[in-house]
Amino acid sequence: MTVINNSMKNLILLSIIVSFFGCMEPNSEDIWTLNKIAQVDTEGYCRDVYISGDSVFVAAGQAGVQLYDISIITSPMLVWSMSLSDLGVNKEISQVEYEPSIKQLFALESNERPIHLDLSKGDTVSVLGQFSSEKTKEFRVVTNNANSFTVYAADNDDGLKTSMFEFDASFGLWFNTFGEEIASVGNPNGIDIYENEIVLTLDQLGVEAFHNEDGLITSAYHIDLDGNSRAVTMLNGGEFFVASEDAGAFRLATGLSSQWEYKVQFAKDLFVTHVTSYNNQIAVSCASNGLALYESNQPSAVEERGIHDIGYVYHSEFANGYLFAASREGLQILEIEE
């Protein structure tokens, strides 16, 4: 005969409760719907996307660089494409960035040097060559005026590297007139800029912030984070998201110092490659796990709104009310329904 004492009764009751709640479905009201508006086969893996008005520039991996017209959002139209041989490079293209005020396009040969392309001459795309350092992981371009721009690069060998270009009207060419290297605490993987503030991701060493005062760039602070810090997205000078691969993602507010005002870690069970946001919506690129959506109605609170398997996602960006995902399945244009 089996005797059930109070301890066993409590254990049985606990098991029933756990079983009951384990079978409950998640609250569907908390999950956002992700509607696919269009998808484009980019031939190579779509590694990055940059949206400027109705123009979408794509880093198409082994297929080079492509430009699409999205004036009809449901039917993106290929305007032109440039293969690796057209660009004069050998490795896949991993990033693109366009400066519309000066009509200059920049692309990155993976783990090599940025490529400068001139789009100012009508339908002609002119490749002006490569510049800066090998082992550039990511870059940002800042237009100084109509005849000058500066490229800020996360150089995995040398830290933060700058390259200033000026246009010489007599030759009709852009010349690299100035550049410098600023040492960082570790080897950078990613970079982002907001006004005078620059943040680098440093793999297992977290992030390092720099301040630019009239061209004089100095290190401001360093923050160590869990995981491998891969990409950073700045919301303002002292607030940003960090994609930390196997450690998920972080939202930080630093107040321009190493003492954060708050630090929120989320997407902990996902491999995060990039984070972007618009208003209260946050889109997390999760490699083979696709896209994860989060909501942040308060800066220090991030709540999950669903994980969507849309293939292997490298990067995503909000623009024109849509979410553009760069994936191995090509360029995907999506719409979030809350």
Structural domains of the chain in order of their starting residue, each with its CATH number: 31-337 (2.130.10.10)
| Model confidence band, residue 261 (pLDDT cutoffs 50, 70, 90) | confident
Burial label for 176, CB within 10 Å (0-12, 13-18, 19+), is middle
- Across the range 241-263, mean pLDDT stands at 91
Residue 127 confidence (pLDDT) above 50: yes
| Model confidence band, residue 19 (pLDDT cutoffs 50, 70, 90) | very low
What distance in Å separates the CA atoms of residue 12 and residue 241, rounded to the nearest whole number?
44
Residue 300 confidence (pLDDT) above 60: yes
What distance in Å separates the CA atoms of residue 25 and residue 267, rounded to the nearest whole number?
20
Give me the pLDDT at residue 123, please: 84
- Residue for token digits 């031939």? 43
Residue 4 confidence (pLDDT) above 60: no
Q: Which residues of 95-105 are buried (b: 16+ CB within 10 A; e: fewer)?
A: bbbbeeebebb
Cα–Cα distances in angstroms (integers) from residue 180 to residues 113, 151, 176, in the given order: 15, 11, 11
Q: Do 197 and 256 touch, CB atoms closer than 8 A?
A: yes
- Across the range 128-143, mean pLDDT stands at 96
Give me the pLDDT at residue 24, please: 37
Give me the pLDDT at residue 22, please: 40
Per-residue pLDDT of 247-256, as tens digits, reads 999 999 998 7
Give me the pLDDT at residue 259, please: 79
Q: Which helix (H) or strand (E) holds 97?
A: strand 93-99
Give me the pLDDT at residue 258, please: 78
For residue 99, how far is the Cα from the chain centroid?
Answer: 17
Long-range contacts of 262-267 (CB under 8 A, 24+ apart): 262/299, 262/300, 264/300, 264/301, 264/302, 265/226, 266/294, 266/302, 266/304, 267/292, 267/294, 267/304
What is the average pLDDT score of the chain? 92
Give me the pLDDT at residue 257, please: 78
In the chain, the percentage of residues whose pLDDT exceeds 70 is 91
Per-residue pLDDT of 47-68, as tens digits, reads 999 999 999 999 999 999 999 9
Q: Which residues contact 136 (CB under 8 A, 6 or more apart)?
A: 108, 111, 112, 113, 114, 153, 154, 155, 156, 161
In single-letter form, the type of residue at position 146 comes to A
Give me the pLDDT at residue 232, please: 98
| Model confidence band, residue 23 (pLDDT cutoffs 50, 70, 90) | very low
- Across the range 245-271, mean pLDDT stands at 91
- The pTM assigned to this predicted structure is 0.90
Give me the pLDDT at residue 29, please: 63
Closest CA to 294 of 231, 235, 328, 251: 251
Q: 118 pairs with which residues across the strands?
A: 104, 126
Q: Which residues contact 19 (CB under 8 A, 6 or more apart)?
A: none
Residue 8 confidence (pLDDT) above 80: no
- Across the range 212-225, mean pLDDT stands at 95
What distance in Å separates the CA atoms of residue 125 and residue 105, rounded to the nearest whole number?
9
Per-residue pLDDT of 147-172, as tens digits, reads 999 999 999 998 999 999 999 999 99
Give me the pLDDT at residue 3, please: 42
